[in-house]
Structure 1
């Protein structure tokens, strides 16, 4: 787990302020206590202050007091945030009354803290659906410059040191966009490469995957991947990227050399971009279950400031790692802005 240790060390060295809107959720509060104990991030926990203190006492969480605990319902900033939200959503017809109701929702309140510059990222989803976590992020924080498509990457720590970067690979999109068009697929490639750099600390070598390698098969879904490759190169001319490649041609040097001679990515890819969400979701779960790989994520990407979504089946350890990942993304977002 060397990579996870590096993530935690980077977060400790440059502490970010991360919002946890699900402040009374058991796994979230227990992970938060450990994060504060280890000094990984500064936390803003949202919820009823008395209830959070009572739960912390009940579960023996002695370091929760090190967090900033805010109840959106009693916060002196709620009117200021409501006015800002109404202004941001004015074109969509939001009234000040609606905005006042919305900011009482911790998921909205947390995004308003980030929008106001008082926090760097947010993590939720132990109790909420992906849609609920993403909606306020897209309405308030919005997408990163030049990006219109939000996607999710999975960090795969495999037992195949000969693949990727010593067995570490990043795959996208595994979480958000079911059938991306060529333009969206290109954005997913660029964002997944950025995530690989920000989170895994690797120099991204991106393979656009398909069931064809360099024209070995003809089909409109292959054409989409080829078109996306061209757009991705325009979006980021510095990106090391190639396609279309079959998975073995992307990962195995001998196969890459025979199927795609002269490619600087074939056989050396550490970032895998799949043509659809169906492929991504099935693919990473097969690697995880059959290959006993550790899958960390999904790590949401494409939002101007990191907002991450937990699985509702997450463990305390998952929450802890995702706080560290969110902090790493926040560090990278500041460096790139």
Structure 2
């Protein structure tokens, strides 16, 4: 039996099912036992249960919310990268052992600050609670892949030889863009259990279905598709993703919640010209139904926009959900632009056409809050203009200077300045040479634009010509995590937005629980 096998055992490595290992089994193990309980989403035995009976156990699970997460993202991508780069004929034991040894060596190195920030500024040092590098540690690529490549060459399975391993490691570092690093950070903060339920109203769209296939395989999000089940299943067959047929699919015609959703919408809008019959018709539309699912707690978030224009999406969202800040009925669309060596947030890129100073202040506060949430650092915020610190005096310039004052009065912790030109905001040397009185101590992380034209044009130009990868837009401040992707969004961009929406939904839920 398993109990017999565990007696006096030095190690247990499991990837089976929840609760198979008992505390008595752990008690019977040898001194300093190694317990890798990797069943997902719930391990064979939890660290808390082990701690009740053993203080000397070395414990790991597959969960991100416990120390020592054993995650295949630390192995497979980097093993394959090394194998492919030497055109290996196969992946042999020597290559797998080299990957394991590289990970073990990396765990003993000092952990960089960006990894610590990704995990709440926890100070990691090698020991019982830090045996394995974190999934967000981008150094894994430059340690594991070269080790695997070298092992392939040494064991005779490599078709090509890499002469300079240091140069190879450097090339790997250059390939590792900021986008992948940010998204790994976001994914690592999503729970293995209690998966955020994200609803997709455009359930028959090919890109949505391909994105949902990726999300299902990852196992971090519970996707829900809206639409006719037969039509969606037929589309799955056509796309070759028939394995998605166990995904939850909802349609208003079959829903037990349809009538309650109609009543809730009627209650919300009855004094704004909505009749009961109109509410019934409205609730048959995907964006309204999906938004109401989120409002009523039957989903944690929503992604829409793959097949519709922006106004068609945002109107239902605002009517059903609305903002989460009293006195701030307006939302803003914030774009995250990921460049090779930096990340900058742009606002407002999608919603408010010509915001006033007070609106701009609110936009800045929302963008700064999102930056803290995603990047886990304190942003520097620049209010942009064609003018620098009063060099011009027209109303468009004055409103940016006024917005800075209002934003700081509303949030005393905000590090912000303006109005300033874009080159000053993004280049520390120019900023300090010409305007050493500027309160920003480095280049801005968040750029607040004077109007929708300038913001939208800027982010699209930079994404097409400047090598930036856009993530967004993220709607803030919202009561719930609902976001609109662009009609031109790729499958990867929809996946990225789903992860980010799930993280926001998770944090909204945690905030509500903390208040209660």
Please give the TM-score of this superposition, normalised by the length of structure 1: 0.92
Instruction: For residue 11 of structure 1, give the secondary structure of its aligned residue in structure 2.
Output: coil
> Is residue 88 of structure 1 aligned with residue 268 of structure 2?
yes
Higher relative contact order (Cα pairs below 8 Å, separated by 6+ residues): 1
Mapped to 1, the partners of 2:387 and 2:470 lie a distance apart of 26
Mapped to 2, the partners of 1:76 and 1:322 lie a distance apart of 29
> Is residue 277 of structure 1 aligned with residue 452 of structure 2?
yes
Alpha carbons 1:297, 1:322 under 8 Å: kept:
yes
Instruction: For residue 190 of structure 2, give the secondary structure of its aligned residue in structure 1.
Output: helix
* Residues 234 and 148 of structure 1: CA distance in aligned 2, closer, same or farther (over 3 Å): farther
> Is residue 150 of structure 1 aligned with residue 331 of structure 2?
yes
Specify the alignment match of 2:423 in structure 1: 248
Mapped to 2, the partners of 1:202 and 1:290 lie a distance apart of 28
Mapped to 1, the partners of 2:329 and 2:225 lie a distance apart of 29
Mapped to 2, the partners of 1:96 and 1:241 lie a distance apart of 48
CA displacement, residues 241-280 of structure 1 (integer Å, 9 cap, x when unaligned): 2111222222222211133324332533101111111111
Specify the alignment match of 2:91 in structure 1: none
Mapped to 2, the partners of 1:229 and 1:108 lie a distance apart of 36
Q: Where do residues 44-123 of structure 1 align in structure 2 (5 Å cutoff)? A: 44-123=224-303
Specify the alignment match of 1:315 in structure 2: 490
Specify the alignment match of 1:164 in structure 2: none
* Residues 336 and 280 of structure 1: CA distance in aligned 2, closer, same or farther (over 3 Å): farther
Q: CA deviation at 1:214?
A: 1.8
Alpha carbons 2:224, 2:247 under 8 Å: kept:
yes
Mapped to 2, the partners of 1:81 and 1:296 lie a distance apart of 31
Mapped to 1, the partners of 2:313 and 2:265 lie a distance apart of 16
Specify the alignment match of 1:37 in structure 2: 217
Specify the alignment match of 1:134 in structure 2: 314
Q: Which has the larger radius of gyration?
A: 2
Alpha carbons 1:245, 1:266 under 8 Å: kept:
no
Alpha carbons 1:207, 1:241 under 8 Å: kept:
yes
Mapped to 1, the partners of 2:509 and 2:414 lie a distance apart of 20
Please give the TM-score of this superposition, normalised by the length of structure 2: 0.61
Mapped to 2, the partners of 1:71 and 1:330 lie a distance apart of 23
Q: CA deviation at 1:15?
A: 2.8
Instruction: For residue 486 of structure 2, give the secondary structure of its aligned residue in structure 1.
Output: coil
Mapped to 2, the partners of 1:285 and 1:249 lie a distance apart of 21
Alpha carbons 1:205, 1:270 under 8 Å: kept:
yes
Alpha carbons 1:253, 1:268 under 8 Å: kept:
yes
Mapped to 1, the partners of 2:243 and 2:440 lie a distance apart of 47
Specify the alignment match of 2:20 in structure 1: none
CA RMSD of aligned residues (A): 1.8
> Is residue 8 of structure 1 aligned with residue 8 of structure 2?
no
Mapped to 1, the partners of 2:285 and 2:488 lie a distance apart of 22
Mapped to 1, the partners of 2:407 and 2:511 lie a distance apart of 18
Q: CA deviation at 1:62?
A: 4.4
Instruction: For residue 225 of structure 2, give the secondary structure of its aligned residue in structure 1.
Output: strand
Specify the alignment match of 1:198 in structure 2: 373
Specify the alignment match of 1:258 in structure 2: 433
Q: CA deviation at 1:212?
A: 1.9
Mapped to 2, the partners of 1:263 and 1:66 lie a distance apart of 56
- In structure 1, runs of 5+ residues without a counterpart are 162-166
Q: How many residues are paired up?
A: 331
Specify the alignment match of 2:410 in structure 1: 235
Mapped to 1, the partners of 2:408 and 2:458 lie a distance apart of 25
